[in-house]
Chain A
């Protein structure tokens, strides 16, 4: 995983609550056995006017001009501004893969679905929970004439607006450390092989029926 560095990016406002993983990446694209290449089909059903299938040349498809991702102001956006319960539904990691592949690095929302929230961190995406009123004011700024740009500083846990105003955010210290250093969970867990073996040994005595075949 790449290290998460401080960056400045455009904010794309997606003004809907309960955006589910089926909407983020429709199921026909889940049949891939790869991890990459999902970006062009991010929000496929909202983004294009036709029905998308794997293998189509997306550059030749008719785009929905009313969908925010197609608005010229938000091209190249790296920060997605969303509403409550973002990422609900399936556990499919294809959702964060698609967001990441598209170019998003940060998602701001008043709340996230648990599994999605967790999956983001494993793919270098930073989901940030902000108070409803802060999200509301960011929507107002992002939906104005000029696109909103902000700087995301994970080390200091702070969003910096062009006005100079700063918004502090919370992040789990373990997850922060993993993102900043690009650490992979499996490597970290395998540092505790002895603890896992000791647990198994004890458990095998206490609950031997769990170790059949």
Chain B
């Protein structure tokens, strides 16, 4: 038998049938549902008189639209009537079709990509889909996970399958030890800086190498979350002891004899020695510095000790024009040191960086310090109700509040500004989210993507700062 990649194994174990031209029907083990991309899919099911194929494969929660301010008033108190309708529509659809939903007031509610792994609803070896591009996150568990559109949401509901073609396989190896203060977020931003936002288009990416093995599961979730920002629908990491330890005891994880059987199967979820990839990219972990994006695409990224690049030095005309447009939008001058960029707001949260380790890293920086006077708002939005409770049990909420941060209820929040949390035009934000597109955090808003520790440091310094220099003034 020839050596297989992890992707081959995940793909082949879910193949229902395939055509001669490679068009395949693959089986979906877990379907996660949220309020924005599902209403039209449920409507489609109703119109066709169809029922969900396997109700127990679905798990739903509202996340994009929910307010992060206190929620005593429940769904009825969501001020924006259109947001409220979407959350109510999700509740009604889940009730009508019998789908398990963690509603807004459920303590388990949260960002769909945080709660999947947290609940053990995402397991190694699964296929996981959701009407959201950041579904790649779940690949950190050794799963094949990718985002789909609403037509496919309806397709999965109706058939438990998707029509797909196999992608090409890429392996990105990050070898060596990461420096102090360099996180999974910096690694993935450095990868995107290296291969570009379209570098992974058409590929499924396996992240490997000693630096990836050394990451915690939460770090790997951050890494795989942004595979889509490199153009790849799916990114994943092989199963190891950390994966298995992480899953054990979670509410949806198997128990007893089934657990033993599952673990034996999960142990095979790695690329075989000698497996062939269509492309291999290798990065030196020791060379990665804390990253800050300067433009309107995640590939527009430099290290914190560098300067805003000059379009005049770019030989590709279309690219230079794009850089200039980004600088104009961002209100930046070429050559400005990154550490001289002042901030108006700070956002710590999103499916990329809102888990307990992220909050701990940010709190470590915030502890005993104060948010700078020029920063109007520094938001901390936990990824789920359970993350929030855990953080509060550790006293992290107090650390943030004492430092002048706002401590909020869980949701997507200012990552995409579909709720009330957003930037005003021209405001500049250090954000732990995943996209710095024009208008992403509010029309005219300017986003710089960073790690949680960097965001907290930027909040207290009022500008970007190398963590090592934080107390030097």
Contact = CB atoms under 8 A, between A and B. Distances in A.
Interface of A: 16-18, 20, 22-23, 26-28, 30-35, 45, 51, 54-55, 83-85, 88-93, 96, 111-115, 118-119, 122-123, 172-174, 185-186, 188-190, 192, 195-196, 199-200, 203, 206-213
9 contacts: A18-B197, A31-B85, A31-B86, A33-B86, A35-B43, A45-B438, A85-B198, A195-B17, A199-B16
B163 A212 contact: no
B123 to A, nearest CB: 7
B82 interface: yes
Contacts of A28: 418
A207 B127 CA distance: 13
A91 B198 CA distance: 15
A113 B148 contact: no
A96 B148 CA distance: 13
Contact of B123 (A16, A45, A92, A210): A210
Nearest to B93: A33
Contacts of A173: 21
A20 B438 CA distance: 9
Nearest to A55: B82
Contact of A22 (B89, B254, B322, B440): B440
B147 interface: yes
A188 B82 contact: no
Given A196-B25, A200-B27, A115 B416 contact: no
A96 B37 CA distance: 13
Contacts of A196: 16, 25, 27, 53, 159-161
A138 B354 CA distance: 45
B439 A45 contact: yes
A186 B43 contact: no
B340 to A, nearest CB: 27
Interface in B424-455: 435, 437-440, 443
A1 to B, nearest CB: 10
B150 A93 contact: yes
B254 A212 contact: yes
Contact of A30 (B21, B36, B163): B36
Q: Which of A30, A31, A84 has the most CB of B within 10 A?
A: A31
Interface in B227-278: 228, 231-233, 252, 254, 258-259, 261-262, 265
Interface in B122-156: 123, 125-126, 131-133, 135, 146-152, 154-155
Leading 9 A-B pairs by shortest Cβ distance:
A209-B254, A93-B149, A33-B39, A122-B151, A119-B149, A91-B147, A31-B82, A91-B133, A93-B150
A83 B318 contact: yes
Given A35-B40, A54-B82, A90-B132, A114 B233 contact: yes
Given A27-B416, A92-B149, A199-B16, A192 B25 contact: yes
A211 B55 CA distance: 11
B109 interface: no
B262 A93 contact: no
Contact of B151 (A33, A84, A185): A185
B25 A189 contact: yes
